Amino acid sequence: MKNNVQQATLGGGCFWCVEAVIQRLKGISNVVSGYAGGKVPGHPTYREICSGLTGHAEVIQFDFDPNIITYAEILSVFLTTHDPTTLNRQGADAGTQYRSVIFYHSAEQRGQAEKVIEIVQEYYENPIVTEVSEAPTFYEATQDHQDYYNENRQQGYCRVVIDPKVKKLRDLYGHLLA
């Protein structure tokens, strides 16, 4: 993957949910949960992010090989495994830290994001409110937030919130799974 690798940064509510979905796709590597897009300088803590006062979103950053999975395919999965029509909310998680966001790393990614949103919009009754912004500084979350679903599948949040997203992924995108 070294010659073809590209980077992507996405946020769609709790980073544990987005991480669990994206890391199951073929062509994906180096999935890291963290924070981006805030107004407060320096490396924020989880507690600061949860306050909603820093402006950071919970996101994942990862590498992908576009010869195996396209950015458009990744964005289609992303936009259909969380609710991109709710502003600053995913289920019970509310606040700007849980906003739906695509942080693009190139003009090409920006264009693809805008096109995929336009295509996917026809499947939703309400307007998609996913933010599309240039990728800012990414701050890695602490180790206890990494690979959370795989390490904690019996935990209540994983069973009630993440399991249905992983099932939806399998049902809709089985052909893209690793």
Does position 58 have pLDDT exceeding 60, yes or no?
Answer: yes
Residue 137 CA from chain centroid, whole number: 16
The predicted-structure confidence for 71-82, as pLDDT tens digits, reads as follows: 999 999 999 999
Question: CA dist 156 to 20, 58, 149, 161, 164, Å?
Answer: 15, 20, 11, 8, 12
Higher-confidence residue of 103 and 50: namely 103
The predicted-structure confidence for 5-18, as pLDDT tens digits, reads as follows: 999 999 999 999 99
Does position 2 have pLDDT exceeding 80, yes or no?
Answer: no
Contacts of 31 (CB under 8 A, 6+ apart): 19, 22, 23, 60, 61, 62, 147
Does position 41 have pLDDT exceeding 90, yes or no?
Answer: no
Written as one letter, the residue type at 7 is Q
Distance in Å from the first CA to the final CA of the chain:
15
The predicted-structure confidence for 70-115, as pLDDT tens digits, reads as follows: 999 999 999 999 999 999 999 888 999 999 999 999 999 999 999 9
Length of the chain: 178
Active site residues: 14
- Tokens 């969380």 sit on residue: 82
From CA 171, how far away is CA 71, in angstroms rounded?
A: 20
89-90/100-104 β-pairing: unpaired
Predicted pLDDT of residue 152: 94
- Interval 25-40 mean pLDDT: 95
Neighbours of 88 (CB within 10 A): 17
The predicted-structure confidence for 121-160, as pLDDT tens digits, reads as follows: 999 999 999 999 999 999 999 999 999 999 999 999 999 9
Q: Domains in the chain and their CATH numbers?
A: 6-176 (3.30.1060.10)
Contacts of 71 (CB under 8 A, 6+ apart): 6, 8, 64, 108, 109, 112
Predicted pLDDT of residue 1: 44
